[in-house]
Structure 1
Amino acid sequence: MELVTKEQMAALQANGRRMMEKDISCEVWPVVKLFTPDANATWLLAWVEPGDPDIAWGLADLGFPEIGSVCLSEIAAVRGALGLPVERDLYFKAEKSLSEYADEARDRGHIAA
């Protein structure tokens, strides 16, 4: 399974262009949710760097939630305790902005999406 579909990558790139144009008035929403089925890691990705689509930005929870950048190629190489690869949540549909997910995750101690 591919981590990010072509449609999702197009949306991530569009968000990245807006962010680089300093359109911080737009509240970006996550486009894709990735997770490890056997290791309690979750990523909500909102945009990719326009010049390097391997660098994504979003909310990551690898034991504690934080906003920052991640390398998609590194995520693709991650394996959990049982050797299972990272999966894309096929049913994820963002219901709030990335900052709202981040605030909620800080309160709960984990991403709930």
Structure 2
Amino acid sequence: MSEETAKPFGKDLLDQASREKLPPLNSNEELGLMAQALVKFFTPDSNWTWYASEFDGDDTFFGLVAGLDVELGYFLLSELQSVRGPLGLPVERDIHYQPKTLKDLLAHHGKHFEDE
């Protein structure tokens, strides 16, 4: 088993390669909904999913969250590291995820917004 698949959660929830490809917070404002969500996190035992399009390099992401509702906003790495699903499973990073635009993800999750 490779290191990439052996440590998808916990301290290695956000690996160095993912950190390096995420642009700084607010750097995608001009792109609007055409900004790419580059990293996907999910709970394997529930329907919550987080898509990161920006990162402050420390703890704060901006992206799309699909859970009880689907919305754009900020979420924290520290929260993802502490969240557990109903069966006690931790959040994982989807190592097979292919980046998509926020607009495409909103449509995928049943939300349709006009790009500003």
Rounded Cα–Cα distance in structure 2 between residues aligned with 1:79 and 1:17? 26
SS for the counterpart of 1:38 is coil
Tell me the TM-score normalised to structure 2 length: 0.75
1:55 counterpart residue number: 60
Q: Distance in 2 between matches of 1:67 and 1:17?
A: 13
Q: How many residues align?
A: 101
Aligned counterpart for 1:77 among listed residues 70, 78, 82: 82
- Deviation, 1:98, is 1.4
Q: Give the distance between the partners of 1:62 and 1:25, measured in 2 at CA.
A: 24
Structure 1 spans left out of the alignment, 5+ residues = 109-113
Residue 53 (structure 1) shift? 2.4
Deviation at 1:66, TM superposition (A): 0.4
Structure 2 portions without partners, runs of 5+: 1-6
Secondary structure of 1:63 counterpart? coil
State the secondary structure of the residue aligned to 2:108.
Answer: helix
For residues 29-44 of structure 1, the aligned pairs below 5 Å read 29-44=36-51
1:90 lines up with 2:85 in the alignment = no
1:6 aligns with 2:6: no
- The AA in structure 1 aligned to 2:106 is A
Tell me the percent identity. 32
Distance, in Å, in 2 between the alignment partners of 1:6 and 1:64 is: 30
Q: What TM-score does the superposition give when structure 1 sets the normalisation length?
A: 0.77
Q: What CA distance in whole angstroms lies between the structure 1 residues aligned with 2:73 and 2:21? A: 18
d(CA) in 2 for partners of 1:18, 1:11: 15
- Superposed CA deviations along residues 12-70 of structure 1, whole A, max 9, x for unmatched, are 1xx226717x5x14732111110001121101111112xx5200011001211100000
